[in-house]
């Protein structure tokens, strides 16, 4: 029985491999479209819970700022990845000064916390770099990848059920995997991939690529004082800033005039 289960897992794993936009091999037990469907459910549940706790920012100055930045980034992203024009792009600003974080799920549903904006005193260019990075996660199917990792863990923990009803297990585990994908960290390879894609998105939107460097230097300086969630799983901030700095000349050539992209009509969740 154990041998049979092992063969099933190997067959599923081999058949589920795909390639990211940068050519990296990805495990995909869940399709990107399924990730979008399940992510929408997880996102709505998360936002509704935040609304009940009165944790969604309603200050129109903050809302307008984030709307403008993310709107330009989405314009850039949809030009680079045309399939994302059909996504239901939205962003929530979460009032939580102790949380230094931001994320974007499959299908373009985003969130950014006041802890990262105010705690690090981010400029517009630096906010653009953070959100460009998070948007890159969605464009590179990292949500589906994280869900697939969660699914693989779930399959391993329920081996007996998997041997009997593999398809049913995958279906029943999709919703759980989507919820876990909000908490399960990306791999370091995924983070590095999103750094490059995200910086290009922000640069093409008209934001300074140098801000990617200053952003991570701020993260490094903040260190344990703010205990940013990014630093627990991402490559070290110092190394990251050095890598991104090497990309600056290449990125500058993408938008030599520094022209701002048009503002995409992103939905603000308030």
Please provide residue 27's backbone torsions phi and psi, each rounded to the nearest 5 degrees. -85, 125
Say how far apart CA 162 and CA 29 lie, in whole Å.
13
**Catalytic residue from among 38, 40, 126, 134:** 134
Say how far apart CA 29 and CA 145 lie, in whole Å.
8
Would residue 183 show up in a list of annotated catalytic residues for this protein? no
User: Which segments of 35-108 are extended strands (E)?
Assistant: 90-94, 102-104
Please provide residue 179's backbone torsions phi and psi, each rounded to the nearest 5 degrees. -65, -45
Say how far apart CA 138 and CA 109 lie, in whole Å.
9
Specify the 3-state DSSP secondary structure of 41.
Answer: helix
Helix (H) or strand (E) holding 159: helix 159-164
Say how far apart CA 71 and CA 246 lie, in whole Å.
27
**Which active-site residues does the annotation give?**
134
């Amino acid at each position: 029985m154990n041998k049979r289960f092992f063969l099933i897992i190997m067959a599923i794993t081999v058949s589920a491999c795909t390639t990211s936009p940068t050519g990296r091999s990805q495990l995909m037990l869940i399709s990107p479209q399924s990730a979008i469907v399940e992510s929408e459910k997880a996102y709505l549940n998360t936002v509704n819970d935040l609304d009940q706790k009165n944790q969604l920012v309603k200050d129109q100055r903050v809302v307008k700022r984030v709307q403008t930045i993310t709107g330009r980034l989405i314009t850039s992203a949809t030009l680079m990845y045309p399939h994302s024009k059909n996504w239901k792009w939205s962003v929530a600003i979460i009032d939580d000064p102790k949380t230094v974080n931001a994320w974007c799920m499959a299908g373009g549903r985003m969130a950014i916390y006041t802890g990262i904006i105010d705690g690090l005193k981010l400029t517009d260019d630096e906010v653009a770099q953070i959100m460009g990075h998070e948007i890159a996660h969605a464009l590179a199917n990292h949500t589906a990848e994280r869900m697939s990792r969660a699914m693989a863990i779930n399959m391993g923990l329920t081996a007996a059920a998997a041997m009997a009803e593999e398809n049913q297990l995958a279906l029943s585990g999709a919703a759980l995997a989507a919820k876990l994908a909000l908490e399960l960290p990306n791999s370091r390879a995924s983070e590095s991939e999103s750094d490059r894609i995200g910086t290009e998105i922000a640069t093409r939107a008209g934001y300074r690529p140098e801000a990617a460097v200053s952003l991570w230097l701020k993260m490094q300086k903040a260190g344990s004082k703010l205990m940013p969630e990014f630093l627990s799983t991402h490559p070290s901030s110092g190394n990251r800033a050095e890598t991104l700095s090497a990309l600056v000349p290449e990125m500058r050539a993408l938008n030599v005039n520094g022209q701002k992209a048009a503002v995409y009509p992103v939905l603000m969740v308030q």
